[in-house]
């Protein structure tokens, strides 16, 4: 079952409550820990809240990111070549928490590094570093109890994914373990390849709202402030990953891009 929260472990709920009061959707930004190098990645992470990110997904580099497109695959390779490890990613988060105790941070990655680290140890170390939960993209609902027990014990959310292919028979199995918010993957396939139709996203979000009280974040294929604004008209939060990672790879101004995305999201319901 999803974990119960306490006042000490509810950054995600507090953020979505604040967004509701403001009458707007949130911006969730994804970056890969250690990319393009540890120092630059730390600076980007530390700057995301001021630039306009409401929630941060921090990627845990893995050598076989099967659900990700070329942009994030290459980012993981760059980070691994720079010596980024799971331990280093948690240390990066700890340094962020020295400056920011309010912005929710969700670790995102694959189960293999967690299994190698040890599930109980990962939950304890992630919570100590200041994580609010994790998205494990290759963990099916049937295997979720391997994490929910340790996560619940350490006040972490397991953020579950749902997709256009998740039918009415499958959705309850996903929701049974979901906490924090529900991540709707708006397209089939890998990250960063194409964009979803606005009307289809709105229809999907409405369908999900009938089944859960969790906030719904929509991601995959959102690359511009205009697309972010369109998604923000339906969703509780908009997730942008590959487009931001692209700018980091090119040496463009990633925080300026986040600011433009944030303005698009904030303007969507004015």
Task: Decide if 68 is catalytic.
Answer: yes
Burial 14-32 (b: 16+ CB within 10 A, else e): ebbeebeeeebbbbbbbbb
Task: Decide if 197 is catalytic.
Answer: no
Structure tokens at 189: 């396939």
Three-class secondary structure assignment of the chain:
CCCCCCHHHCHHHHHHHHHHHHCCCEEEEEEECCCCCHHHHHHHHHHHHHHCCCEEEEECCCCCCCCCCHHHHHHHHHHHHCCCCHHHHHHHHHHHHCCCCCCCEEEEECHHHHHHHCHHHHHHHHHHHCCCEEEECCCCHHHCHHHHHHHHHCCCEECEEECCCCCCCCHHHHHCCCCCCEEEECCCCCCCCCCCCHHHHHHHHHHHHCCCCCCEEEECCCCCHHHHHHHHCCCCEEEECHHHHHHHHHCCCHHHHHHHHHHHHHHCCC
Of the listed 68, 132, 236, 246, which one is catalytic?
A: 68
Structure tokens at 206: 């409405």
Of the listed 35, 54, 57, 125, which one is catalytic?
A: 57
Give the residue from 31, 52, 14, 8 showing the smallest Cα distance to 181: 14
The gap from C-alpha 209 to its chain's centroid, in whole angstroms, comes to 19
Task: Find residue 157's DSSP bridge partners.
Answer: 133
Catalytic residue numbers, as ranges: 57, 68
């Amino acid at each position: 079952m999803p974990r119960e929260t306490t006042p000490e472990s509810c950054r995600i709920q507090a953020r979505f409550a604040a967004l509701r009061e403001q009458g707007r959707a949130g911006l969730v930004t994804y970056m890969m820990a250690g990319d393009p190098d540890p120092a630059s990645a730390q600076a980007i992470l530390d700057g995301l809240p001021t630039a306009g990110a409401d929630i941060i997904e921090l990627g845990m580099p893995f050598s076989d990111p099967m659900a990700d497109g070329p942009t994030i695959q290459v980012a993981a390779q760059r980070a691994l070549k720079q010596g980024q490890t799971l331990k280093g990613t948690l240390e990066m988060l700890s340094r962020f928490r020295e400056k920011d105790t309010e912005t929710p941070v969700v670790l995102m990655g694959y189960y293999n590094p967690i299994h190698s680290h040890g599930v109980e140890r990962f939950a304890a170390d992630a919570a100590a570093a200041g994580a609010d939960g994790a998205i494990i993209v290759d963990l099916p609902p049937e295997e979720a109890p391997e994490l929910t027990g340790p996560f619940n014990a350490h006040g972490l959310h397991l953020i579950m994914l749902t997709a256009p292919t998740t039918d009415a028979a499958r959705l309850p199995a996903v929701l049974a373990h979901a906490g924090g918010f529900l991540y709707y993957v708006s397209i089939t396939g890998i990250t960063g390849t194409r964009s979803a139709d606005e009307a289809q996203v709105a229809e999907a979000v409405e369908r999900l709202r009938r089944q859960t009280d969790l906030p719904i974040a929509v991601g995959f294929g959102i690359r511009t402030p205009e697309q972010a604004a369109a998604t923000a008209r339906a969703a509780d939060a908009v997730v942008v990953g590959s487009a931001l990672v692209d700018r980091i790879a090119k040496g463009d101004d990633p925080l300026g891009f986040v600011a433009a995305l944030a303005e698009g999201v904030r303007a969507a319901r004015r």
